[in-house]
Amino acid sequence: MRKVIVLEFMSLDGVIQAGGGPQEDTSGGFKYGGWQAPISDDTLGEVMTKQMTPPFDLLLGRTTFDIWEPYWPKHTDIWPGAATATKYVASNTRTSTDWQPTVFLSGDIAKKVAELKQGDGPNLHVYGSANLVQTLMKHDLVDEFWLKIYPLTLGSGKKLFTDGTIPAAFKVTESQISPNGIIIANYVRAGEVQTGSF
C-alpha cells in the first residue's frame, strides 16, 4: 500500500502559501510571497535533497502544478526526480500537458486518491497544494507530514490545518532544528486521539 506524505514549508501560525517567491500565489491579497528565502539554510538544503530523492510519485493540486510546470522541466539538474515521477494532478479544468508522465484526476478526488493508495508504486508526495491537502485530511488520507516550520508568523494566508481536519494522533520519527531556527520534523500517523486527565 502506498502512503500519502505531505511535505510543507510553514510559518509558526501554520501558513503554507507562496513560500517560494513573491508572484507564486498572491490569491487573497497575500503579500508575503517568498518568505522562505531569507531564512533557509544549508541544513534545510541537505534535508530537502534527501527527501527529493526518488522513488516517489507526486500528488499535486492544479495551482501548484501550474506553478511547477514551466519551472521544473528546465531544472532537472536540481531535481531529476520531478521529471521521472508520475505527477497526479487534481483538476477539473486541466486535461493535458507536455510535462510527462502526468495523470489528471477529476471528480471525486478523495476516492481516486484512496484508490491510488491501494495500488502499486512508490509513495505519493504532496507539496504545497493547500486545497488538495485539506481534502486529503478531511477524508483521512494523509499518512505522514514532513514539515519545515519557519520562525516567523504571517498573520494570514492559506493554512495547513483548518476547521474540518479530522482529529488524529501522530508521533515524531525524525526531528532537528536548523542553524536558522527552522524546525524540521517528520510525523507519522499513530492512531486516534487519546484523552485523559491529570
Please report which confidence band the pLDDT of residue 12 belongs to, taking 50, 70 and 90 as the band edges. very high
**φ, ψ for residue 134, nearest 5 deg:** -60, -45
Q: Provide the mean pLDDT of the chain.
A: 95
Strands 170-177, 144-150: pairing kind: unpaired
Domain 4-189 sits in CATH at 3.40.430.10
pLDDT of 165 reads 85
| pTM of the entire predicted model | 0.95
Contact 61, 129 (CB under 8 A): yes
Q: Tell me: pLDDT of 54 over 90.
A: no
Nearest residue to 173 via CA among 140, 133, 136, 146 = 146
Please report which confidence band the pLDDT of residue 119 belongs to, taking 50, 70 and 90 as the band edges. very high
- Residue 153, C-alpha cell as written in the block: 508568523
For the segment 61-76, the average pLDDT, to the nearest whole number, is: 95
Nearest residue to 39 via CA among 10, 61, 66 = 10
CA-CA distance, 60 to 182, in Å (whole number)? 24
| pLDDT tens-place string over residues 120-130 | 999 999 999 99
Q: Tell me: pLDDT of 159 over 90.
A: yes
Residues of the chain with pLDDT > 90, as a percent, come to: 96
**To which H or E segment does residue 10 belong?**
strand 4-11
Higher pLDDT, 162 or 48: 48
Query: In the chain, what's the furthest Cα-to-Cα distance?
Result: 58
Q: Where are the domains of the chain?
A: 4-189
Residues whose CB falls within 8 Å of the CB of residue 183, separated by 6 or more in sequence, listed in order: 147, 148, 149, 175, 177
